[in-house]
Amino acid sequence: MTQSDSAADPAPLDLDANAADNAATPQKSGKGKRVAIIAVCIAVVCVVAALLYWWLTRNQESTDDAFVQADIVQVAPRVTGTAIQVFVRDNQHVEKGDPLFTLDPADFLAELASAEANLQAAQASYDSSQRQLSVTRQTSGADIDSARAAVETARAEYNRAAADARRYQALYAKREVSRQQLDQANTTATSARARISQAQAQLAQAQSAPDQIALKQSQGSTAKARVAQARAQLDRARLNLSYTDVRAPQSGKIAQKSVLVGSHMNAGQAALAIVADDPWVVANFKETQLTRMRIGQPVSIEVDAFPDHDFTGRVESIQSGTGVTFSLLPPQNATGNFVKIVQRVPVKIVFDHPDAVDKIGLAPGMSVLPTVNVAAAAKPLDRPHPATARTNATAAATTPGQ
């Protein structure tokens, strides 16, 4: 074979390799289709789930910036003293009016006895002034009449004695009476004149009876004021004695107890705290979540500490101002650079069944997740505030004739 003939012959074909490529191509195409179908299904499921989630939550507003709140009362004695009895323990539940602790009443009993004695003395002084005033009023008219009669009598006696003295003077000039008789007549006349002055002085004193009455009345008013002052001191002493018995101002659980038997307590010094019953929830919603939120809308509440309990409540109120407005240093947006920040507004949520909540034991500060159904109608709360309800019930139970 020549060189040209060998060059003209075509190269032999690799039939096995072509056959393998043709067989792998359908397998790869089928696998890619399956992957594409799975991806499309997953995308459809995600879109459907997203639409379903949006559909279910489009009328719900929730926030994790929410906490349980309750009234906390700091109990402090109103007088200074030493604790001699303590009736409560930490975290113990007490009812309104239950005894908490007692201060030593010895000093206050002594003050009470002193106040009672002062009142008795003031009352005796007032009674004496009233008796003197009554006597002065009764004798004033009779004394004036008697004094006037005494003046007239004294004048009559003086006129007679003066006439006798003049007659004796004439007789003495004629040497018909002795000098001794004349001196005696003059002395009688002088004594009668002195009795006129005395009677006039008594009349003037009797005529000053209204002034005496006014003086007695003034003294009586002063004594009456002292009685009122002594009675006020007695009432104050009784109050101070009652303050030694410290009782619970409202129902709740004891917290932060620092009083012990033998502790010296100053007036106003916090001895313990009472966390009141009937807690509520304060949820800090974003301002953009309040568009359709209204008072009275239902709320489902999840408490982190009790995940197995389903709590329900209602929106009671929405604060008139964002939280930052009432902060210690509110921002001054008119100064410096301004960056818009979505603000949060506190919303108060009350439980539908406060008695059941109290039994579970929710404590202030617990984290909750409230969800408000903003599509529900805003109905007014159909129950009064629990504290008001308890007050009304107590008043009805203690009112006579109920």
- What residue type is 393 in one-letter code? A
CA atoms within 13 A on the CB side of 200: 7
pLDDT tens profile 303-319:
999 998 989 999 999 99
Q: Above pLDDT 90, what percent of the chain?
A: 44
**What whole-number distance in Å separates Cα of residue 223 and Cα of residue 231?**
12
List the one residue out of 334, 362, 333, 336 whose CA is nearest residue 349.
362
- What residue type is 154 in one-letter code? A
Q: What is the reported pLDDT for 26?
A: 57
Between residues 254 and 157, the one the model is more confident about: 254
Specify the range with the lowest mean pLDDT, choosing from 106-120, 137-151, 235-249, 363-377: 137-151
Supply the mean pLDDT for the chain.
81
| Neighbouring residues of 263: CB distance < 8 A, sequence distance ≥ 6 | 82, 83, 271
Are 250 and 390 in contact, with CB atoms under 8 Å apart? no
**What whole-number distance in Å separates Cα of residue 22 and Cα of residue 16?**
10
pLDDT band at 47 (very low <50, low <70, confident <90, very high): confident
What letter does residue 333 receive in the DSSP assignment? T
Between residues 326 and 53, the one the model is more confident about: 326
Q: Residue 371 phi/psi, 5° resolution?
A: -130, 120
In this predicted structure, the answer to whether residue 86 has a pLDDT above a threshold of 70 is yes
pTM more than 0.85: no
Specify the range with the lowest mean pLDDT, choosing from 84-88, 115-119, 207-211, 325-329: 207-211
Q: Above pLDDT 70, what percent of the chain?
A: 76
Q: What is the reported pLDDT for 382?
A: 60
Q: What is the reported pLDDT for 295?
A: 92
User: Span 31-50, mean pLDDT?
Assistant: 83
**Own/partner pairs, 103-109, CB within 8 angstroms, 24+ separation:** 103/77, 103/79, 103/243, 103/244, 103/245, 103/246, 103/265, 104/244, 105/81, 105/241, 105/244, 107/81, 108/79, 108/81, 108/237, 108/240, 108/241, 108/244, 109/241
Between residues 193 and 327, the one the model is more confident about: 327
User: Span 218-242, mean pLDDT?
Assistant: 89
Rg over alpha carbons for the chain, rounded to the nearest Å, is 53
Q: What is the reported pLDDT for 311?
A: 93
Q: What is the reported pLDDT for 345?
A: 95
CA atoms within 13 A on the CB side of 188: 17
Q: What is the H or E stretch that residue 114 is in?
A: helix 106-173
In this predicted structure, the answer to whether residue 50 has a pLDDT above a threshold of 90 is no
**What whole-number distance in Å separates Cα of residue 344 and Cα of residue 325?**
10
User: Span 339-345, mean pLDDT?
Assistant: 91
**What whole-number distance in Å separates Cα of residue 85 and Cα of residue 334?**
58
Q: What is the reported pLDDT for 141?
A: 54
In this predicted structure, the answer to whether residue 7 has a pLDDT above a threshold of 60 is no
The residue with tokens 């206050």 is 108
Please name the residue ranges forming H helices in 174-208. 179-207
In this predicted structure, the answer to whether residue 215 has a pLDDT above a threshold of 90 is no
Two structure tokens written together for 251:
């129902």
pLDDT tens profile 175-201:
777 777 767 777 887 877 787 777 677
**What whole-number distance in Å separates Cα of residue 313 and Cα of residue 296?**
9
Q: What is the reported pLDDT for 147?
A: 63
List the one residue out of 362, 386, 373, 350 whose CA is nearest residue 309.
362
Residue 169: CB atoms within 10 A of its CB come to 13
In this predicted structure, the answer to whether residue 365 has a pLDDT above a threshold of 90 is yes
Distances in Å between the Cα of 212 and the Cα atoms of 201, 205, 207, 356 are 16, 10, 10, 76
296: region left, alpha or beta (phi > 0 left; psi from -120 to 50 alpha) = left
What letter does residue 362 receive in the DSSP assignment? -
In this predicted structure, the answer to whether residue 254 has a pLDDT above a threshold of 60 is yes
Between residues 125 and 247, the one the model is more confident about: 247
In this predicted structure, the answer to whether residue 402 has a pLDDT above a threshold of 60 is no
**What whole-number distance in Å separates Cα of residue 177 and Cα of residue 166?**
12
Between residues 89 and 2, the one the model is more confident about: 89
**What whole-number distance in Å separates Cα of residue 133 and Cα of residue 123?**
15
pLDDT band at 16 (very low <50, low <70, confident <90, very high): low
Name the percent of the chain in helix, strand, coil, to the closest 5: 50, 20, 30
